Amino acid sequence: MQPPFSSGSLYTVAQVREMERAAIGTLRLPGYELMCRAGAAAFDLLRLRWPGARRIAVLCGVGNNGGDGYMLARCARNAGMDVIVLALGKPRDGSEAAQAHADWRSTGGEVQSVDAAWPHADVYIDALFGIGLARAVEGVARDWIANLNAASMPVLALDVPSGLDADTGFAPGPVVRATATITFLADKRGLHTGIAADCVGEVVVDALALTEEVRTNIPRDARLLDAAMIAAALPPRARDGHKGRYGHVLAIGGDVGMGGAIRLAGEAALRTGAGLVSVATQAEHITAINAARPELMAHAVPGIQELKPLIERASVVALGPGLGRRAWGHALWHIAIAAGKPLVLDADGLNLLANDGVALSAQTVLTPHPGEAARLLGVDTDAIARDRFAAVRELARSRRAVVVLKGAGTLIASAEGGVAVCPWGNPGMASGGMGDVLTGVIAGLLAQGFDAWHAAWIGVALHARAGDAATRDGEVGLIASDVFALLRRLRNGLDPA
């Protein structure tokens, strides 16, 4: 497999089309040659991934994705494999796909019609729709996708699982759930967020033997985080370090009955390396917090007068876990925002922000889930799901803050439009308290001197990787406090296992 142009770089469909034009125009490389390379690369992966496969079924659409499928079918047949090709129709005359179809037929290859019986195969190849599809799949293709998803055999998707929007990670209708996806030229951003997490399987990027030359003047749209980035961003501490050097987090929240949320946020800040952590909460939670985690400095705060001196001593504020929307939480929220200190805003802190246009500190991180993001933008949650990249960018731009849009393939955006995508995390983390832990992790990093952008993406990465390491006993039943010891190991650059 050829490596991607730049490790971790993600592109839009329009950018990949521009690369194709550069390869065809600048390098004088025929489009059909690119199709031949794509088919050969996909066949190489097929043999590598499923060496025992002897019978494959290739499902071809009428566009260039189908052309890639015909090329793979030729490679497989030449290697002595039993190949069945099903086609939605004949490619448009004069297209590269039509040439691939003709070449397959000229060598004795057969094409079964849409009413043919569903074939048995060791591996199925999804070459129905490529990166240009942004509508719901209908008709026979819809039935074929249902058959693929019902089968117990592996599926290799070419470029993108059919039905998935390669730009957004959204599927407006049925979508192939692939075992693996080989994507060509460059990695597409929509393969790494939203419903894509359930559809793409293992993603392999093949640059089709093209050089960096074709990507000239095409800056990546987003960056996929990797472990090397985290290691480089977290150097070891100086031997003469002391707690005063690593900041003081004030975690504000925990209205009546919700003390656990603010305790989780406070401990997460400690486990991530904050020098000091204070907690401002309701009086009824103080005994429990002191008993469970005496390293936290817990303060009963009945109102704003008691909060003000705590804010003055703090270097960073974490606001929202268990805050509630009663008068107590609303009053503390206003005072904390007005302090202008580096800030992490979550949970009810975000819900209060949705109804208030207050200006935020220059070093602010917002951590909404899709429902909170929808309230902040004044849209419904479906609008967030349809284009998570657009949503996180607009929220960061409009609030002049760093924004973490949580969910499968969490996105982190700066006010200037930069986006990072987190490849870690699992469904077991969809449990109460996980968001509170993330708030504390990011606040702890802010306290240690990281700016909002670095604290956000490093914090998201540490939190998600800790969550993955905590699944050694399974995903179901994972609780927020399970990640604390793992957070500490990861923060220190150690193997979390």
My answer on whether 289 and 386 are in the same domain is: yes
- State both tokens at 69: 């499928």
On the question of pLDDT at 450 being above 50, the answer is yes
Find the CATH number of the domain harbouring 62: 3.40.50.10260
My answer on whether 441 and 343 are in the same domain is: yes
Which ranges constitute the DSSP H helices of 298-451? 304-313, 327-338, 348-353, 370-377, 381-386, 388-399, 434-447
| Nearby residues of 239 by Cβ (< 8 Å), 6 or more positions away | none
On the question of pLDDT at 445 being above 80, the answer is yes
Instruction: Give tens-digit pLDDT for 416-437.
Output: 999 999 999 999 999 999 999 9
Asked if the structure places residue 213 within a domain, the reply is yes
Asked if the structure places residue 3 within a domain, the reply is no
On the question of pLDDT at 6 being above 70, the answer is no
| Residue 3: per-residue pLDDT | 34
Asked if the structure places residue 446 within a domain, the reply is yes
My answer on whether 296 and 357 are in the same domain is: yes
My answer on whether 372 and 256 are in the same domain is: yes
On the question of pLDDT at 4 being above 60, the answer is no
How far apart, in whole angstroms, are the C-alpha atoms of residue 274 and residue 488?
11
| Residue 5: per-residue pLDDT | 38
Domain boundary among 220, 246, 266: 220
My answer on whether 39 and 162 are in the same domain is: yes
Asked if 61 and 95 count as a contact pair (C-beta separation under 8 A), the reply is no
Task: Tell me the average pLDDT across 55-80.
Answer: 97
pLDDT, the chain, mean: 94
Instruction: Give tens-digit pLDDT for 100-121.
Output: 999 999 989 999 988 888 999 9
Among 389, 367, 363, 386, which residue's Cα sits nearest to residue 376? 367
Asked if the structure places residue 251 within a domain, the reply is yes
Asked if the structure places residue 368 within a domain, the reply is yes
Task: Tell me the residue range of the domain where 151 lies.
Answer: 9-220
Instruction: Give tens-digit pLDDT for 362-373.
Output: 999 999 999 999
Task: Tell me the average pLDDT across 117-129.
Answer: 96
My answer on whether 271 and 380 are in the same domain is: yes
pTM of the entire predicted model: 0.95
How far apart, in whole angstroms, are the C-alpha atoms of residue 286 and residue 314?
19
Asked if the structure places residue 374 within a domain, the reply is yes
pLDDT band for position 216 (50/70/90)? low
pLDDT band for position 381 (50/70/90)? very high
pLDDT band for position 232 (50/70/90)? very high
Asked if the structure places residue 267 within a domain, the reply is yes
User: 308-328 burial string, b = 16+ CB within 10 Å, else e?
Assistant: eebbeebbbbbbbbbbbeeeb
Domain boundary among 191, 220, 249: 220
What whole-number percentage of the chain has pLDDT above 90?
A: 88
My answer on whether 361 and 237 are in the same domain is: yes
Per DSSP, the three-state class of 164 is coil
Asked if 18 and 185 count as a contact pair (C-beta separation under 8 A), the reply is no
On the question of pLDDT at 495 being above 90, the answer is no
My answer on whether 276 and 193 are in the same domain is: no
Find the CATH number of the domain harbouring 233: 3.40.1190.20
| Residue 7: per-residue pLDDT | 63
| Residue 217: per-residue pLDDT | 75
Tracing tokens 């009824």 back to the chain, one arrives at: 284
Domain boundary among 186, 220, 254: 220
Task: Tell me the average pLDDT across 233-238.
Answer: 89
Q: How many domains, in total, are found in the chain?
A: 2
Asked if the structure places residue 323 within a domain, the reply is yes
The secondary structure of residue 174, as a DSSP letter, is -
Instruction: Give tens-digit pLDDT for 182-196.
Output: 999 999 999 999 999
pLDDT band for position 158 (50/70/90)? very high
My answer on whether 274 and 169 are in the same domain is: no
My answer on whether 150 and 255 are in the same domain is: no
My answer on whether 289 and 389 are in the same domain is: yes
- State both tokens at 32: 């059909």
How far apart, in whole angstroms, are the C-alpha atoms of residue 282 and residue 326?
13
My answer on whether 268 and 209 are in the same domain is: no
